[in-house]
Amino acid sequence: MPITGVYFIPAHPNASTALGNITERLRSSFPDEDLIQLGRWTLEQKLMRDTPGLLPTSSGPNQRPSKPRYMQFLSLSHYYNHGFIYTSEPAEKPFHPPNAASPSPAATPATPRPQGAGAGAGAGAGAATAGSVNDSTTSNISPMLMTTVPHSSYSTLFQHFTYACQPFWCHRLTVVVQNGVFYDIGDFRVRLGDVRQTYPTNRVRGTVVEIEWRGPSVIDSLDGAVTSDVNEETDSGVDVSLSALEESDIDAEFAATALLIREFWGRLGVEGAREAILVPGVGSEVKERLVKLKGARNGLSGPTEDDPDPQAGADVARQYLEVLRFNR
Amino acid sequence: MHELLLFASVPTHQHAELLQQLAGLTAMQPRHCFERRLIFKAYRKPGVANARVGASQDLQSGDLQRVNKMLNGGMFYTQVVGPIQSADFADAGVTDAAANASANANPNPVNPDPDTDTKMDGMDSESSIPRSAYDFDQQSWQLEFRDIPEAGTRSAVTSRVMATAALPRGDIVPSMNAWGYSFVTEYLVEGDMFIHNDIVLNLHRVLHYPTNPGEENQPRRQMPTLQQMAPLEKSGSYVLQASMMVQDGSNQETMKTASQHLFGLREQLKSAVRLEMADRLSLDTRVK
């Protein structure tokens, strides 16, 4: 899973976007690089909000405004095997079943837990879900939970929520990047595209830029150890024995790469961008992987028939969804 | 997508005979299958709806009406279904000690602790459930939504809106909770499947898990033995379900053709079982 950063430059409706400007800056900032368009990419985000939150807030003094809850559907052409669903965690736990994570003391000894389930809540959480860490940066939004679903389920689930869950989910908007382009510049891959809103009305939203670090990274060696088909392209020059790798090393790797990405973005000198690199929950799949690798548990979210890595791209999906969560 | 259905009740003594008849009709061997079925219920903070109606100035009235209509829309129970193998059940012949011994035979780097054996022995006295190779973290799931059957159809088949979507493996409860569903309970379906042209035939019965305190609030991570499962219908009778999926339910022509195929099957099986449409309210999935 490569380390990425996503920038979004908002634009006024009916105004031109920053796309041309950024492409020009890329050309002028990296005169030694051939700016060759390598291909196209697309993105689609459908944003749903909790329906009760759409009611106008009453002015009553004893009613504090509830936190908005979101469910965001994201589909990326560079991770075409699966779609991403990013949902606010429930504010209060469902009322009738008690929280599974905190069984009552009386129930604990009677429940035989499978061995190793206590090793890490994240590891036990199973295939493609990973609890997001508590966020201090976005205080008015509750923590988000990332779920990846097979691509065939992506639109079926969206239809299900619009059909059967109207009292609690309401489709608010859809934005797309239809004609994104990408370039390789040094150790980076840069994806650019104009974000258009297609629902409820057509309008321009701005420009999104994804910067992917393709240089040597500790994370790659981890990926190589997990997936049997080692990606030739990203042959990692870093030789790290897995046993020496700690979660803090991964955090450090993300932080260090974030600096590289910020430096790259800084060279372009584009103003007024929203940044998403070290967003809440980023890297949690990588850490989960490390825990499982070290434990050599067979509970790895292994490849399914049609998806070699069901969790791939969860980090970049989080970053896109952070910058594209428009208020409506 | 739509689903058209006919049902028949099959008493225990007729079960073996009907299996043979269906195998003959469909020219295939029965495919024996087990399905874990988790029931989830849509939930919403009580008292939110209608709490603030009429207090609005800033929301356009059309928009507000729409939101209010949505708030009063239907909510549903939905199922998450996972296929399992008969090998996933704990084997009745394997005692706890034997299962643990085999588990310890695999070198397990999580616990290189030499005391593992004694710890496991300590657990034996507490647990009454034998182990199996069942791995909950690898369990595949799919969401199965079924609407209440349509009312007032002149046709004599049950017809309802349906949706099926594959979900990630493992513990699906955190995602379902975030999506607005809470886990209620689970049961198991045991049965045989046949395919007859475009109709899927399911001869199945519902099995209940043995109750263990502390296990009701979340899906089981381990399976009991098959012998411990008790049929919901005490007489052990089965249900034969003939179903057919129609991609475009608004197309009257295809719906009619599909019904006619089901009626054709009903005629063919007339001497063995009586297939008929189900009582609509018995298949009500709405949360009230």
Task: Please give the average per-residue pLDDT across A160-188, as a whole number.
Answer: 94
Interface size, chain A vs chain B, as Cβ–Cβ contacts under 8 Å: 212
Assess A145–B contact: CB distance below 8 Å, yes or no: yes
SS3 B134: coil
The pLDDT value recorded for residue A133 is 35
Among A69, A81, A147, the residue to mutate for chain B (most B Cβ within 10 A): A147
Q: Does a structural domain hold residue A119? A: no
β-sheet with A129-130: strand ranges across? A129-130, A144-150, A82-88, A70-76, A39-49, A170-185, A188-199, A203-213, A3-10, A274-276
Task: Please give the average per-residue pLDDT across A173-202, as a whole number.
Answer: 94
Q: Which residue of A has its CA nearest to B44?
A: A168
Q: Does a structural domain hold residue A109? A: no
CB contact under 8 A, A299 and B147: no
Task: Identify the CATH number of the domain in which residue A82 sits.
Answer: 2.40.320.10
The pLDDT value recorded for residue A303 is 63
Comparison of pLDDT for B248 and A220, the residue scoring more = B248
Q: What's the pLDDT band for B60 if we cut at 50, 70, 90?
A: low
Q: What is the pTM of this model?
A: 0.82
| pLDDT single digits (tens) A84-93 | 999 999 876 5
Q: Which two tokens stand for residue B124?
A: 């034996």
Write down the domain spans for chain B: 2-49+78-94+130-283
The pLDDT value recorded for residue B132 is 74
- Residues of A within 8 A of B124 (CB-CB) are none
Q: Mean pLDDT score of chain A, rounded to an integer?
A: 79
Distance from CA of A262 to the nearest CA of B (A): 33
Q: What's the pLDDT band for A247 if we cut at 50, 70, 90?
A: confident
Q: Give the position of tokens 């898990």.
A: B209
B218 pLDDT above the threshold of 70: yes
Q: Does a structural domain hold residue A120? A: no
A24 pLDDT above the threshold of 90: yes
The pLDDT value recorded for residue B122 is 41
CB contact under 8 A, A156 and B217: no
- Provide the domain limits for residue A21: 3-52+68-91+126-323
Q: What's the pLDDT band for B131 if we cut at 50, 70, 90?
A: low
Q: Considering all CA atoms of chain B, what is the largest pairwise distance in Å, rounded to the nearest integer?
A: 70
- Rounded to a whole number of angstroms, the distance between the first and last alpha carbons of chain B is 24
The pLDDT value recorded for residue A123 is 35
Pairing of strands B77-84, B31-42: antiparallel
> Domain spanning B2-49+78-94+130-283 has what CATH number?
2.40.320.10
Q: Mean pLDDT score of chain B, rounded to an integer?
A: 84
| pLDDT single digits (tens) B178-202 | 999 999 999 999 999 999 999 999 9
- Rounded to a whole number of angstroms, the distance between the first and last alpha carbons of chain A is 32
Task: Please give the average per-residue pLDDT across B231-240, as a whole number.
Answer: 94
B86 pLDDT above the threshold of 50: yes
Residues 6+ apart with CB under 8 A from B89: B34, B132, B134, B223, B224, B225, B226
Q: Which two tokens stand for residue B80?
A: 């998450």
Q: What's the pLDDT band for B63 if we cut at 50, 70, 90?
A: confident
d(CA B200, CA B240): 10
The pLDDT value recorded for residue B101 is 45
Q: Does a structural domain hold residue A117? A: no
Q: Does a structural domain hold residue A115? A: no
CB contact under 8 A, A96 and B138: no
The pLDDT value recorded for residue B150 is 93
- Residues of B within 8 A of A111 (CB-CB) are 212, 214-215
Q: What's the pLDDT band for A328 if we cut at 50, 70, 90?
A: confident
CB contact under 8 A, A164 and B147: yes
Distance from CA of B271 to the nearest CA of A (A): 40
Q: Which residue of A has its CA nearest to B224?
A: A112
Is residue B69 within a helix (H) or strand (E), and if so which, with residue range? helix B61-71
Q: Does a structural domain hold residue A282? A: yes
CB contact under 8 A, B71 and A56: no
A121 pLDDT above the threshold of 70: no
Return the amino acid letter for A164. Answer: A
Query: What is the share, in percent, of chain B residues with pLDDT greater than 90?
Result: 65
Q: What's the pLDDT band for A169 if we cut at 50, 70, 90?
A: very high
Per DSSP, which regions of chain B are E strands? 2-10, 31-42, 77-84, 141-146, 158-167, 181-196, 199-208, 230-231, 238-246
Q: What's the pLDDT band for A98 if we cut at 50, 70, 90?
A: very low
Task: Please give the average per-residue pLDDT across A213-241, as a whole number.
Answer: 60
CB contact under 8 A, A95 and B182: yes
Which DSSP state fits A168?
T
Task: Please give the average per-residue pLDDT across B248-255, as a whole number.
Answer: 93
Which residues partner with A173 through β-bridges? Answer: A47
Q: Which of B52, B127, B165 sits opposite A157 (nearest CB)?
A: B165
Query: What is the share, in percent, of chain A residues with pLDDT greater than 90?
Result: 50
